[in-house]
Chains A and B, each alone.
Chain A
Amino acid sequence: MSIQTVKKVKNIITDKIDEDYLSLFYTSGQECSVPKDEGNRHYQEILEWVAEGNTIEDAD
Chain B
Amino acid sequence: MTKAAELAKMGEVLTNSQIGGRRNIVINGAMQVAQRGTSFTSQNAVAYHLDRWETSGFNMGDGVYRVDQSTDAPADFMNSTKIACTTADTSQDANNQMYFQQQIEGLNCSHVNFFVSNADTITLSFHVKSNRTGTYSFALKLSDNASAEDNSSTRIYNTTYTISVANTFEKKTITIPLDTNGSTKVTNNTFSMAIQFWLGAGSNRDGAGAGAWGANGNAATASANLDILGSTDNNWYITGVQLEVGSQATPFEHASSFGETLALAQRYYHHIQGGAKTKIAKGHATDARAGYFNFELPTSMRHTYTLVHSGLTTLRWVVEANSEKVPEQFILSDSNCLDIASVYMQHANNVTTVGYACGITLLDANAYIAFDAEL
Contact = CB atoms under 8 A, between A and B. Distances in A.
A18 interface: yes
A53 interface: no
B123 interface: no
Contact of B307 (A29, A33, A44, A45): A33
A31 B372 CA distance: 12
Interface string B3-14: 000000000000
A39 B307 contact: no
Contacts, number: 73
B296 interface: no
Nearest to A9: B331
B245 interface: no
Contacts of B290: 12-13
A8 B44 CA distance: 27
Interface string B332-349: 100100000001001110
A30 B308 contact: yes
A30 B190 CA distance: 25
Contacts of A33: 306-307, 330-332, 343
A25 to B, nearest CB: 9
A2 B45 contact: yes
Interface string B28-59: 00000000000000001111000000000000
A24 B305 CA distance: 13
Given A9-B331, A12-B328, A32 B306 contact: yes
Given A12-B289, A29-B310, A34-B306, A21 B47 contact: no
A60 to B, nearest CB: 8
B117 interface: no
- Contact size range, B: 20 to 34
Given A13-B290, A40-B304, A41-B374, A29 B311 contact: yes
B194 interface: no
A35 B356 CA distance: 28
B342 to A, nearest CB: 11
A22 B305 CA distance: 13
Contacts of A31: 308-312, 330
A9 B330 CA distance: 10
Contacts of B287: 13
Interface in B270-321: 287, 289-290, 303-312
A13 B289 contact: yes
Given A13-B289, A21-B331, A31-B311, A42 B306 contact: yes
Contact of A35 (B289, B304, B347, B348): B304
A34 B372 CA distance: 10
A12 B348 contact: yes
Contacts of A37: 303-304, 335
B303 A40 contact: yes
Interface in A1-36: 1-2, 9, 11-13, 18, 21, 23-24, 29-35
30 contacts: A1-B46, A1-B47, A9-B331, A12-B289, A12-B328, A13-B290, A21-B332, A24-B306, A29-B311, A30-B308, A30-B311, A31-B308, A31-B309, A31-B310, A31-B312, A32-B306, A32-B307, A32-B372, A33-B306, A33-B307, A33-B330, A33-B331, A33-B332, A35-B304, A40-B304, A40-B305, A40-B306, A41-B374, A42-B306, A45-B46
Given A2-B44, A9-B331, A23-B331, 15 more contacts: A9-B329, A12-B346, A29-B311, A30-B311, A31-B311, A32-B307, A33-B307, A33-B330, A33-B332, A34-B306, A35-B304, A40-B303, A40-B304, A44-B148, A45-B46
